[in-house]
Structure 1
Amino acid sequence: MQHLASAARLVRTVRHLKPVQVYARARLLLPRGWPEDRPAPALRPVRVTFVAPTLQVRSLLGRWRVRFLNREGEIAQPPQWNDKAQTKLWLYNLHYFDDLCGPPADAAHRALQRDVINRWIAENPPGAGNGWEPYPVSLRIVNWIKWALAGESLEPHWRDSLAMQVRWLSEHIEWHLLGNHLLANAKALVFAGLFFNGAEADQWLARGLSILRRELPEQILPDGGHFELSPMYHAIILEDVLDLINIGRTFGRGDAKVFRNLPDIAARMRSWLAAMTHPDGGPAFFNDAAFGVAASRADLEAYAGRLGLGAVEEPGEGVQHLAASGYVRVNRGDMAAILDLAAVGPGYIPGHAHADTLSFELSLGCERIVVNGGTSTYTPGALREAQRSTAAHSTVEVEGENSSEVWASFRVARRARVQDVRIEAAGGTIRVSAAHDGYRHLLGRPACRRTWQFEGASLVVADEVACLLSKKAVARFHLGPGVAAESDADRRSGRLQSEGGRVVNWSASSEACIAHSPWFPEFGRSVSTDTLVVPLSAGQLVTRFAWARPSV
């Protein structure tokens, strides 16, 4: 029976794939040959200075000492480029060479960076190991070129290695994954096609632009959101778009059609990121999201300013519906709430999706009061499964199951579908309501509906699970770091106290309990926080939060 259940889950997963993904996965099993090692093409003349991009966090700490994802390590011996004691993502970061785009370095650090490049070339045979997988190849190509455009000279054998990596990448485009990986591949081809000169470089450029021409209209939604619906990956791809604007101008290609469209795409993406950013400057935690991976919104806006792109409008008072991506933002005074009425992502690539449908986050001033659980790992196992689960998000869980059937590290089988979205704003009251059918496979096909009502300095959350044939439905409100929860004797009311002194009174129509749960703000890091856990009674629950307005 277990084998049949696993097979059925696999069918529910792969039936959403595009044919090209199936074909490309089969092709991965075939021998691919070695990358060509002929000399690199000549360099293309620079027309204008490459504008300073966003700065990466310093990750090369000393001679062979590195730090990624809050974990230090050493590149002491060649096997450690592929050290199985490290996570896959940590090793990917080791091969990105983000440190080349870090803060200004002194002569000693620049010499160390050059030594690491020499070591990488000498100790990573072409086509072998983590460093030759298409995604780290793509990011490394871009970082080496950015470093060179910032004024560092590339040794002749480095240029030869760089060209070999581009040739390898051009034959290993990630058609089996698509999505953000495909954009990263295309960006690297464009960077290399402009950095180098001649017929071969023109082929790289043409292929990269062809991918961008086809993918950007699909991946960037009309409201500006990236279709994988992760604020973190959205910020990464926004930086990619800004980098493409930058290098197109550097080599005098800003008037080509793809480059001409990029400022408008960037403007829409910047507006979307503004709506999905909390007052503390960090992204909302929907789907895979954490601090410290993507550039901050402030850094991206500063970069856009250096590129001469106009300012975008900040979220205003009231309600903002990002209809194409499915999120809603509500601003009332110093309160900001971000609501998830979104699908899990594109059907054929939901790898970064969580089972977080109808969850929400709420800030008062610069303090996060209600949060989602965050992301600290991509490594397969119980922790990754827990972080993607419905229970890790501020929403309703039914029968202890996930609203979408997330499994492995990046798989989703059955998906919740959002229905009947209603948004009303009248007389000082804002009501947002939606339902989803993520539990339609359970007995009675229970449907979940959540309504948020904002009025004055209060929020009422009404949850309903229709046709619930058992009593196993529970709402969780995960609280932000430093927010302490208290319960009165009746367990139907109490207070939330933030570190900054804000007090939020809560009340519920059912008896609640206060649990402790981890919050994962960064990869490799967890913080202990409180969670308000409230069961639904006869499929119904009303939870109210009220706070005092800040004194002027």
Structure 2
Amino acid sequence: MPKNTASGDSSAMSGEGMADRVRRLTCIAELGWRTLVVRALAHPPFAWWTASLPVSGRLLFAPQDLRAGDPARAAEIYAGCFAFAGKAVETGGASPFEIVPPSREWAQALMSFSWLRHLHASDTAIARANARALVGDFINLGGPRLPAAAEPEVAARRMINWLSQTPLILKDADSGFHRRFLRCLSQQARYLKSIQRFARDGRARLACAVALSFAGLCMADQPRLLRSAQKRLTEELERQVLADGGPASRNPAMLIELLLDLLPLRQCFEARHVAPPAVLVNAIDRMMPMLRFFRHVDGSFAHFNGMGPTPADSLAVVLAYDDARGRPVSNAPYSGYQRLEAGGSVVIVDTGCPPPPLFSHEAHAGCLSFELSSGRNRVVVNCGAPTPAHESWRAVARQTAAHSTATLAEISSCRFIAGGLAMKLCGTPVLDGPADIHVDRSERGGADVLRASHDGYARRLGLVHQRSWRLSGDGTCLDGEDLFRAAQGEEIASDARDFYAIRFHLHPAVKAARAPDGQTIYLTLPDGDDWVFEAPDCPATIEESVYLAAHGGPRRAEQIVISGKARQRPRVAWTFVRVQGALPG
């Protein structure tokens, strides 16, 4: 199991220099003031009346909701059971909006109204009446101004969900409810228009731009809103979708979530006979190939920088819009990832710096980590991000020890805001991490060769970590090497700071057994496509690990660990080899 290295990071933080303190305070100031402004503007008489926006008299159409609903969840909601983020609440006949939420994540899920799609999937008169009653409760109780409901991203998601589910909400509704609903929609659009520039950078700010674009297209008599929303959407897509199609946050999950919104938005522009912004079309075209870049053969995404369980149904829907077929690209330099593929084996590597602090709330300290799959079997993985129901694991999941790479002195290659008032104001962005990363890719003897290094430990420990991979042309052998060298102008310390641990986390379906020589480990896969791990002259141990990116919650797993000291053994070679036939014993 990955060790909790918070204490190691704390000790490192205590020795930070003046430049590090300035960087930390700058990050806190930049993020903290936005939080305070949003909290102030969420209450009257500020943002709810500051933006000039007329009340729309009618809706022109409803955008398509590409996210799948579950009729079984509709029955639970009708029975008064609201289960979100691992918490289930029985309302006992009361409105869910009057109940003290069991967690912040539960309240956000309730106030976003994403659960309306389950009622839509039920497609019954009872489900429609239930949806209308719950929306009416929210409006009558002043729901838009409730603390969780007023958060910019939650408000944006609610607007998108209300617009998408208007056929469900408004069918059979009386004229009075219809007017209240449209007035509340207009009020929330006014709020989002005022608050969007103060929303947290990244996912939240982009969600506001998308929601307002939907509103401008779907609500009648909103030309000014549509113009301003298009301008903001263009700005955010230019900032947040990189040249190779990857997200600025470096979280692969954002590709799926964003495309689930952008594809229907493009359809809405077409339905209104309005030319969509060129940036929107180009962003979709760039993002589609990246979906295939992060996929292993079994269809799951690689677990980097906040990626948790792969939403298979959502991914399948998005991929249905992908007209391009064929081999994925192998190099995503702007996103900071590399892909090696041969003979049914796939290796995906993180070779990027952490995203800027404003985009880094979900980023992990996993530089030079990799994942290996063989056919439909995952072999080497990262622990991945947990589901919202297991939020307590998130800090552990972000540490370097939760990734298939090397840790030095039991600390992470990145530092995060991890507690106190700073976390309440700013969240958990990356404060510091690798800044100088060198990547070299070539082909040698029919095999792809990748070499990369990062300086994430250089300032604190004076060491640079370099790693290389060589995937054979038939995909049966992955050779690797880890090298620890002194940073420029430094010497390798002789104390405990030069201690390293090289980890290879294994998928829960992989069973590991150590050979008597202490250097060979047999890896048994479910379908007999077995592998062998070898590290000449370097004793390897099998230790407990945990696989966090499972739909049902954390699962017990194993990891291969090689430990040593950089001064005594700075170079470690290792190999994964696919074998034919049954493994010994």
Which TM-score applies when normalising by structure 2? Answer: 0.83
Amino acid at match of 2:471: F
Write out per-residue CA displacement over residues 290-343 of structure 1, whole angstroms, 9 at most, x where no aligned residue: 1266963221122x2xxxxx6123335xx7111111111111111111111012
1:95 aligns to 2:111 (yes or no): yes
1:336-351 equivalent positions in 2, closer than 5 A: 336-351=346-361
1:354 aligns to 2:364 (yes or no): yes
Deviation, structure 1 residue 158: 1.9
1:40 aligns to 2:55 (yes or no): yes
| TM-aligned CA distance change 1:83 to 1:278, over 3 Å | farther
1:85 aligns to 2:116 (yes or no): no
Tell whether the 8 Å contact from 1:354 to 1:389 is kept in structure 2 after alignment: yes
Tell me the secondary structure at the aligned position of residue 296 of structure 1.
helix
Distance 1:388 1:22 in 2: 22
Structure of greater relative contact order (alpha carbons < 8 Å, 6+ residues apart): 2
Match for residue 24 of structure 2 among 13, 25, 35: 13
Structure-2 residue corresponding to 1:506: 533
1:315 aligns to 2:327 (yes or no): yes
Deviation, structure 1 residue 540: 2.0
Structure-2 residue corresponding to 1:64: 80
Match for residue 474 of structure 1 among 492, 496, 501: 501
Distance 2:264 2:86 in 1: 26
Deviation, structure 1 residue 151: 8.7
Write out per-residue CA displacement over residues 83-118 of structure 1, whole angstroms, 9 at most, x where no aligned residue: 3532x2232112222232346323133332223222
Structure-2 residue corresponding to 1:307: none
Distance 2:317 2:454 in 1: 36
Distance 1:146 1:232 in 2: 22
Deviation, structure 1 residue 128: 2.1
Tell whether the 8 Å contact from 1:360 to 1:371 is kept in structure 2 after alignment: yes
Distance 2:578 2:280 in 1: 43
RMSD: 3.1
Tell me the secondary structure at the aligned position of residue 466 of structure 2.
strand
Tell me the secondary structure at the aligned position of residue 421 of structure 1.
strand
Amino acid at match of 1:535: S
Please list every run of 5 or more consecutive structure 2 residues that lacks an aligned counterpart in the other structure.
Answer: 1-9, 419-426, 487-491
Amino acid at match of 2:526: E
Tell whether the 8 Å contact from 2:97 to 2:143 is kept in structure 1 after alignment: no
Tell whether the 8 Å contact from 2:512 to 2:523 is kept in structure 1 after alignment: yes
Structure-2 residue corresponding to 1:546: 577
Deviation, structure 1 residue 239: 1.8
Tell whether the 8 Å contact from 2:38 to 2:198 is kept in structure 1 after alignment: no
Deviation, structure 1 residue 400: 0.3
1:516 aligns to 2:547 (yes or no): no
Tell me the secondary structure at the aligned position of residue 15 of structure 1.
helix
Amino acid at match of 2:413: S
Identity %: 24
| TM-aligned CA distance change 1:26 to 1:494, over 3 Å | closer
Amino acid at match of 1:527: R
Amino acid at match of 2:573: V
1:135 aligns to 2:156 (yes or no): no
Distance 1:400 1:425 in 2: 34
Report which stretch shifted further, 287-296 or 431-440.
287-296
Tell whether the 8 Å contact from 2:301 to 2:310 is kept in structure 1 after alignment: no
Deviation, structure 1 residue 246: 1.7
Write out per-residue CA displacement over residues 516-546 of structure 1, whole angstroms, 9 at most, x where no aligned residue: 1211124771111111111145222111100
Structure-2 residue corresponding to 1:273: 291
| TM-aligned CA distance change 1:411 to 1:359, over 3 Å | same
Distance 1:424 1:278 in 2: 22
Structure-2 residue corresponding to 1:167: 190
Distance 1:7 1:472 in 2: 23
Amino acid at match of 1:230: N
Deviation, structure 1 residue 150: 7.3
Deviation, structure 1 residue 288: 0.6
Tell whether the 8 Å contact from 2:87 to 2:389 is kept in structure 1 after alignment: no
Match for residue 492 of structure 1 among 519, 525, 549: 519
Structure-1 residue corresponding to 2:483: 464
Tell me the secondary structure at the aligned position of residue 561 of structure 2.
strand
Amino acid at match of 1:182: R
Tell whether the 8 Å contact from 1:464 to 1:540 is kept in structure 2 after alignment: yes
Structure-1 residue corresponding to 2:4: none
Which TM-score applies when normalising by structure 1? Answer: 0.88
Tell me the secondary structure at the aligned position of residue 222 of structure 1.
coil
Tell me the secondary structure at the aligned position of residue 548 of structure 2.
strand
Deviation, structure 1 residue 40: 3.4
Amino acid at match of 2:68: L
Tell whether the 8 Å contact from 1:517 to 1:529 is kept in structure 2 after alignment: yes
Amino acid at match of 2:362: H
Report which stretch shifted further, 335-344 or 151-160.
151-160
Structure-2 residue corresponding to 1:369: 379
Match for residue 392 of structure 1 among 379, 402, 415: 402
1:209-228 equivalent positions in 2, closer than 5 A: 209-228=230-249
Tell whether the 8 Å contact from 1:484 to 1:497 is kept in structure 2 after alignment: yes
Please list every run of 5 or more consecutive structure 1 residues that lacks an aligned counterpart in the other structure.
Answer: 305-309
